A and B are shown apart, each in its own frame.
Chain A
Amino acid sequence: MILFVGGRASGKVDAVKELLSIEPQEVTAKQALTTPAINHLENIIEALLENEQSVSDFLTRLINENPSAIILCDEVGSGIVPLNRKDRVLREEIGKACCYLQKHSTAVYRVVCGIAIKIK
């Protein structure tokens, strides 16, 4: 598993294309289990929460069933704490998901201004 994180539009897709020669796809949670490069993990997590499905079950399945996946996720935790509980939960679940996937990743890149910095 390889994880790419960075702010919105920081250049993660281009970094993946350049480094790994693969085009990331925006897919559903179910499709993610068989997609080699998954874009917008944050949207998958949002959809799971909307449908009251377990984020941790999904992540466990992803690691087990798609262990060589390339995953792209927006960093969303560096603004003011949202007033709305739903937004707060989403922001925290995205942060936790990245910490969890990081542990199962052989490499982690953080993309800043289009530059991918290898942090693991």
Chain B
Amino acid sequence: MIFLITGGSKCGKSSYAEKLIFHLSQGKQANYLATMRVASEEEEAIVRRHQEYRKEKNFIVHESPLRFPDFLESSFVLLEDLPNLLANHMFGGDGYEGALDKIVELTNRIDNLVIVTNEVGSCILKYPIETENYITALGRLNYVLAKRSDCVIEVVVGIPLAVKGVLPL
């Protein structure tokens, strides 16, 4: 089963995704694919906070800003998150197509995959062309992945809403 979890910033989607992966694995060990690439003190603080927080969880973490490991210990995998993976590819990797290839390859080999994504397309401001291209690419990636997903969930103020399929919890 592939689950795509979306929502705005600080809507509770990551907490829900973590609950979901351990619900699926019945508490057994899961892999955590962390995609954030550290480029500032603020990001370093976020990564440190996440690492600290994940220590208490039954995760094997792989830092995967661009590509995923060939071997994953568990068949339960949480990918956090798509916007960072895409940004890493578009601003220093092999573009949208590269990100799409990597993620599609992952969906083909993992039995239970939970993907956290984000909404960035609801904004009045106009951005430089690189950013505009990124917004379009993330919308497209979400669209493509939603088609491949068994269940798409939008989290709103901490409440999961089924957009496609049935809520697993």
Contact = CB atoms under 8 A, between A and B. Distances in A.
A79 B11 contact: no
A76 B159 contact: no
Contacts of B119: 77-78
Given A77-B10, A81-B9, A85-B42, A98 B157 contact: yes
Interface stretch (A12-20, A25-33, A56-64, A89-97): A89-97
Contact of B135 (A80, A91, A108, A120): A80
Contacts of B134: 80
Given A79-B120, A80-B125, A5 B156 contact: yes
B159 A91 contact: no
Contact of B159 (A75, A80, A120): A120
A80 B9 contact: no
Given A95-B10, A99-B10, A78 B157 contact: no
Interface residues of B, number: 23
B27 interface: no
A66 interface: no
Given A103-B158, A119-B156, A120-B159, A79 B123 contact: yes
B60 interface: no
B95 interface: no
Nearest to B156: A110
A79 B156 contact: no
Interface of B: 7-12, 42, 119-125, 127, 131, 134-135, 156-159, 161
Interface of A: 3, 5, 7, 75-81, 85, 91-96, 98-99, 101-103, 108, 110, 119-120
20 contacts: A5-B156, A77-B7, A77-B9, A77-B10, A77-B11, A78-B9, A78-B121, A78-B122, A79-B124, A79-B125, A80-B123, A80-B127, A81-B9, A85-B42, A98-B158, A102-B157, A103-B158, A108-B157, A119-B159, A120-B159
